[in-house]
Amino acid sequence: MPGHSLLDLAEATDFQVIALNRPGYRGSERIPADGITFADNAEMLDRAIDMLWRRAPDQCPGVVVIAHSVGAAIAVHLAARHPHWPLLGVALNGLIDSPPQRFVDLFHGTPPGQPVTFTPEQRRGFMYGPNDTIDPDIIQRAEPSTEPAPREELLEINDRWPADAPGETARVTVPIHCALARFDVLWEMNRANIDTFTRRFTSAPSVETTVFPRSGHNIDHHRVGRELHLRQLAFAWQCAFDR
């Protein structure tokens, strides 16, 4: 989305960046519901990145994975696999492991076997902070980037992820950058829960946490989105060259 694109900023600052659509999104093949687990997604991404790495220029030092929300949980699973290609670090945003009960109930109440589509009103309430943290037309401008979410993913992030997170995070052995938002209503966002989550990365050599005080869940789409992207790219640079 113009003005809120990590890809554009990365290209402008000479980073090689590739965006992968997970199974079931955009042009990627849809897979059976029982194959949409985070672990299965991580395995497929592992193979895809391995193939891409084989074609990378010789001077490329490695890979930093940047991921949001459900994708961030999958990125933790991916890092916990200890892939054969050189994973240098993981930048997460919009992820802890303390979902509010109202969202657990909401997603369990959706029709089985059908992807979940959020209305513009739901996207405004779930994904964004107060009016003065976003541009007035951001919901409309973001429309092309929205897609129905597999119901199975929404159930796993609210049901299994809180139980799986301690084990998966403990196996991550690369630096972590964690960006969170004060007005993220999809999580019980408080200092105790943030600290509990970030301290789970017991094997990571470093964990850098930033809480954006003027943002909701989709930090990229807020007025602080450019700051998020600059921080993520700076983290990638540090992972590659400050080792």
Amino acid at 224: V
| SS3 label, residue 123 | helix
Mean pLDDT calculated for residue range 225-231:
97
Backbone phi and psi for residue 108, each to the nearest 5 degrees, phi listed first = -70, -20
| SS3 label, residue 195 | helix
pLDDT in tens, 136-188: 999 988 887 788 888 999 999 999 999 999 999 999 999 999 999 999 999 99
Would you say residue 71 has pLDDT above 90? yes
Q: For the whole model, what pTM was predicted? A: 0.95
Question: pLDDT averaged over the chain?
Answer: 93
Structural domains of the chain, with CATH: 6-241 (3.40.50.1820)
Question: Torsion over CA of 225, 194, 169 and 224, rounded to 10 degrees?
Answer: 0
Please give the Cα distance from 203 to 23 (Å, whole number): 29
| SS3 label, residue 193 | helix
Contact partners, residue 237, CB within 8 Å, separation at least 6: none
Please give the Cα distance from 28 to 37 (Å, whole number): 16
Using pLDDT thresholds of 50, 70 and 90, give the confidence band for residue 22.
Answer: confident
Would you say residue 238 has pLDDT above 90? yes
Would you say residue 27 has pLDDT above 70? no
